[in-house]
Chains A and B, each alone.
Chain A
Amino acid sequence: MKIFTVIILFLIPFTVFAEKTLVLATSSDPGHLNPGITTGYNVHVFADSIYSGLIMLDKNLQPEPDLAESWSISDDAKNFTFNIRKNAKWHDGKPVTSEDVKYTFENVLFKYHSRTKSGLGKQVKAILTPDPNKVVFQLKSSYSPMITRLNVTEAPILPKHIFSPGNPNDHPANLKPVGSGPFVFKKYNKGESVELIKNKNFYLEGSPHFDRLVIRIIPDSVTQLLALESGDVDYIDRVPGSELKRLQNNSAITIARNTAGPGGGNCIVTITYNLDRDKTSNLEVRKAIAHAVDRDRMVKQVLFGLGRVATAPINKGISWAHVENALQEYDFNPQKAEGLLDQAGYQRKNDGVRMDLDIVHFPRFSKYIEAMKQDLAKVGIKLISRALDRSAAVSTIFGKRDFDLNLISYCNGADPDIGVKRMYVSSNIGNIPFSNGAAYRNLLIDSLFDEAGKTADTNMRAAKYKNIQNILADDLPYWWLVERQFLTAHNSKLKGFRSWSGNFALKAK
């Protein structure tokens, strides 16, 4: 306890301290607090504690009740009926009804929430509201990932009586949110913190445990960590890998590893080959690069062991769809890589270089690039790296298509239909951030992804995704490097953080 704080403590009326406050830290400003109009982590990390979804996901990313206390699915998996809790209230006291759900999906999520718009938006035929506590989603065809796409991160429910009518993009409630979640918005101090207080009328018994939740904005990850160690902060949403060893020896701090975080999960750091360019449209060159990069070393030196080598185009976190040995043939083998490059007609020139390749990436991924540069130099490929900030990189890669290679961390999400499909289907080529950057066109792949999305039976879906992954492994439009893990850390005195989800403080004690 700081000396000065102690002095202040004595001066302050006693009432303040009856409150229990949970202090979290994240790295950037939310800007606004409407989780319905963006998929950005920076908003969801704050707003997901204020709003709720129809369901939430447990640690294994399986659905459990949230606003909907129960649901049923028709046999053909086309009609989904949700029963909304009768005791669910907005923070202003009005009840949460099926009208709110209908409004949110039709007027907000299907227009402005990019993931839900592109996934569910295309599947839903109609949303019916037979009574205030019952909402029915009618789909055009069966769609298995439906339920996992309804948590607060993918589909936060907004109050119709606040937002309608008007454009939710410019609504004043974006800065003064009225939700139905565990915490009530109190104050947003820009650049500093967002203060929330306990929702006393929350529908889940015993939650939340804390009277106040303060989410602080601390941009620097080192001082975030120091604040956690000194007890100023109880929970931080990322831990730099380089600090892991030191932290593991500190019993006052508990580290949680997850393959998912709010805003995305099951991420694979991936090289995109530009299939419109001569060199990278050559399959032998693509295979050579796959053989030349030492991915084990990347896990050790770049990720500090926090992750694993990608063994398939779909992350191991989606275990039912993941094919463990899909990429088996591409072992780390520089000799083989050199052979392939010789075959492709790229001989070493006098300076020992076979070809130059240009790679575009975000600055924070520069360590991956360094490792790749060294590996590729050994087989005669000179990597020229261009680190561009996020906005510039997105427009260079997806708008101008000005790259040979790029390196992006693609998150698969809870279901392959959310975050895998977008990278491979030909309808997703164009000036769209984080889409099919390779410009990969394969009609078979397109139809397999469509079929897999419509199939209800998990085994049959898995078979389709297996087929997809084997084709991708042969065609190699991308090269899948490593699967990342998300690290969060918290004070060991506390427990119950749902660190894989948006409303991580819901059950914290």
Chain B
Amino acid sequence: MINFLIARIFQIPISLVIILCITFFLIHAAPGDPVASLAGDFVTAEYRDLIIKHYELDKPLPIQALIYFKNIITGDFGNSYYFKDSVLNVIGSRIIPTLLLVIPSVVISSSLGIYLGFLSARSNSVSSRISLPVSTIVITSIPTFWLGYLLIFIFSIQLNIFPINGITNARYSYEGLYYYADVAFHLFLPLLTMVLSQLAQVILLLRLKLMYEIRLPYFITAKAKGLSYEEAIVSHSLQNAILPVITVIGNRFSFLITGSILTETVFAWPGLGRLMIQAIEVRDYPLVLGILFILSVIVMVLNLLTDLVYTMVDPRITFKSHG
């Protein structure tokens, strides 16, 4: 177990170097440069050269890569061309709103999804067997941005309860506790959008696995020894059925860190997804690479955690090396 952990942790920096190498050359290979977005229009040739020189973009690509990696080792991610600020500062200001959206949405959608999936597998009634899966599929099939508009239309325009977008009220600047209340208030609709768009996957996956499990011989045995249908599911089947669900939840987390772009755009939420798109559009190379770096670390750590959770849930899975 310990050996496995050490090996896995050592893999992380190696993977990071590979990821950064590939993305460094890919982003520089994309046509275009940061000049047009930095200078505006009406640029002269010498001004163009000035910008290119200033950001050392005139050096050969391998040299640029060497400089970049040398700086990375010392913890210097460089300065964003567009924001004229250190890459870590820029990312730092945008990662909190993203986590605020992603963590609760994954937690809520998976716990709710597990509960509802369990409900729908447990009962034989039409409502839970058919209508629950069908309705969740319908909701999940709605494109995220449209679902966002729909919720804005219902809750902000018609009912006039929640704000249309933003993270705080711009007209009044709150402080202290009121500030947090204001943020929570603004969080509601984007969070609901994210939860609804993820819910079906967990429900349907768990339901499918449970339906499979209850047909296996051990389930009949469990019932034969006197357990009720529900008791048998809770104490025996759920553990088996939940494994793929854990994988899905782990993947969700990683995906959503930047995958919430549509929700962030519709609700003008100042998150990392929007930052990423903007950084790519203006060819802000240090910022793109910085975001990818942070993102890769998060994904790898989450994968590791997912694997650890596996061993806890299913004792059959161990990390002993074979042979």
* A→B interface (CB under 8 Å): 2-5, 8-9, 11-12, 16-17, 21, 23, 28-29, 31-32, 34, 38-41, 111-112, 114-115, 117-119, 169-170, 174-175, 189-193, 195, 212, 214, 216-220, 222-223, 226-227, 229-230, 232-233, 263-264, 388-396, 400, 411, 418-419, 422, 430-435
Segment at the A interface, from B66-74, B80-88, B214-222: B80-88
B37 pairs with A191, CB closer than 8 A:
no
A233 vs B163: C-alpha distance in the bound complex, in angstroms? Answer: 11
A431 pairs with B172, CB closer than 8 A:
no
Nearest CB on A from B185, distance (A): 5
**Interface residue tally of chain B, by bracket?**
35 or more
Q: A219-B268, A431-B45 are in contact. Are A4 and B161 (CB under 8 A)?
A: yes
> Which residues from chain B contact A17 at a C-beta distance below 8 Å?
172
> Which residues from chain B contact A117 at a C-beta distance below 8 Å?
44, 47
A401 vs B134: C-alpha distance in the bound complex, in angstroms? Answer: 53
Q: A32-B84, A40-B37, A434-B43 are in contact. Are A190 and B270 (CB under 8 A)?
A: yes
A230 pairs with B157, CB closer than 8 A:
yes
Q: A170-B84, A193-B170, A396-B31 are in contact. Are A220 and B185 (CB under 8 A)?
A: no
A222 vs B94: C-alpha distance in the bound complex, in angstroms? Answer: 23
B166 pairs with A114, CB closer than 8 A:
no
Segment at the A interface, from B2-10, B277-285, B302-310, B313-321: B277-285
Q: A117-B44, A389-B281, A433-B41 are in contact. Are A223 and B266 (CB under 8 A)?
A: yes
Q: Is B162 an interface residue (CB 8 A)?
A: yes
Of all A-B residue pairs in the complex, the 5 with the closest CB atoms, nearest first, are A391-B32, A191-B270, A39-B40, A40-B40, A32-B84
Nearest CB on B from A32, distance (A): 4
B270 pairs with A411, CB closer than 8 A:
no
Q: A38-B38, A38-B39 are in contact. Are A8 and B160 (CB under 8 A)?
A: no
A395 pairs with B172, CB closer than 8 A:
no
Per-residue CB proximity of B156-169 to A under 8 Å, as 1/0?
A: 11001111111111
Nearest CB on A from B318, distance (A): 44
| Closest Cβ neighbor of B83 among chain A residues | A31
Q: Is B77 an interface residue (CB 8 A)?
A: no
Q: Is B23 an interface residue (CB 8 A)?
A: no
Q: Is B230 an interface residue (CB 8 A)?
A: no
B174 pairs with A432, CB closer than 8 A:
no
A91 vs B22: C-alpha distance in the bound complex, in angstroms? Answer: 47
> Which residues from chain A contact B83 at a C-beta distance below 8 Å?
29, 31-32, 190
A430 vs B31: C-alpha distance in the bound complex, in angstroms? Answer: 17
Kindly identify which residue among B31, B48, B161, B168 contacts A2, using a CB–CB cutoff of 8 Å.
B161
Q: How many A-B residue pairs have CB under 8 A?
A: 206
Nearest CB on A from B147, distance (A): 13
| Closest Cβ neighbor of A115 among chain B residues | B42
Q: Is B203 an interface residue (CB 8 A)?
A: no
Q: Is B253 an interface residue (CB 8 A)?
A: no
> Which residues from chain A contact B149 at a C-beta distance below 8 Å?
222-223
Q: Is B34 an interface residue (CB 8 A)?
A: yes
> Which residues from chain B contact A222 at a C-beta distance below 8 Å?
149
- Besides the known contacts A192-B166, A214-B170, 13 further A-B residue pairs in the complex with CB atoms under 8 A apart: A5-B185, A12-B178, A38-B38, A114-B40, A189-B93, A193-B170, A195-B173, A217-B270, A229-B157, A232-B171, A391-B30, A432-B45, A434-B41
A12 vs B177: C-alpha distance in the bound complex, in angstroms? Answer: 10
Q: Is B206 an interface residue (CB 8 A)?
A: no
> Which residues from chain A contact B44 at a C-beta distance below 8 Å?
114, 117-118, 432
A23 vs B170: C-alpha distance in the bound complex, in angstroms? Answer: 7
B84 pairs with A175, CB closer than 8 A:
yes
Q: A29-B278, A117-B47, A191-B93 are in contact. Are A227 and B165 (CB under 8 A)?
A: yes
Give the interface centre of B40, B166, B173, B181 by most chain A CB atoms within 10 Å: B40
Q: Can you name 10 A-B residue pairings with CB atoms under 8 Å?
A: A39-B41, A191-B94, A192-B167, A193-B166, A220-B265, A223-B164, A388-B31, A391-B283, A432-B44, A433-B39
Kindly identify which residue among B162, B174, B281 contacts A390, using a CB–CB cutoff of 8 Å.
B281
> Which residues from chain A contact B213 at a C-beta distance below 8 Å?
none
A485 vs B312: C-alpha distance in the bound complex, in angstroms? Answer: 63
A220 vs B164: C-alpha distance in the bound complex, in angstroms? Answer: 12
A400 vs B31: C-alpha distance in the bound complex, in angstroms? Answer: 10
> Which residues from chain A contact B42 at a C-beta distance below 8 Å?
39, 114-115, 118-119, 418-419, 422, 434
A390 vs B44: C-alpha distance in the bound complex, in angstroms? Answer: 18
B267 pairs with A2, CB closer than 8 A:
no
Per-residue CB proximity of B44-67 to A under 8 Å, as 1/0?
A: 110110100010000000000000
| Closest Cβ neighbor of B168 among chain A residues | A192
> Which residues from chain A contact B50 at a C-beta distance below 8 Å?
111-112
> Which residues from chain B contact A264 at a C-beta distance below 8 Å?
41
B43 pairs with A391, CB closer than 8 A:
no
B164 pairs with A114, CB closer than 8 A:
no
Nearest CB on A from B178, distance (A): 6
Q: Is B117 an interface residue (CB 8 A)?
A: no
Per-residue CB proximity of B236-255 to A under 8 Å, as 1/0?
A: 00000000000000000000
Nearest CB on B from A364, distance (A): 12
Q: A4-B185, A12-B178, A31-B82 are in contact. Are A223 and B267 (CB under 8 A)?
A: yes
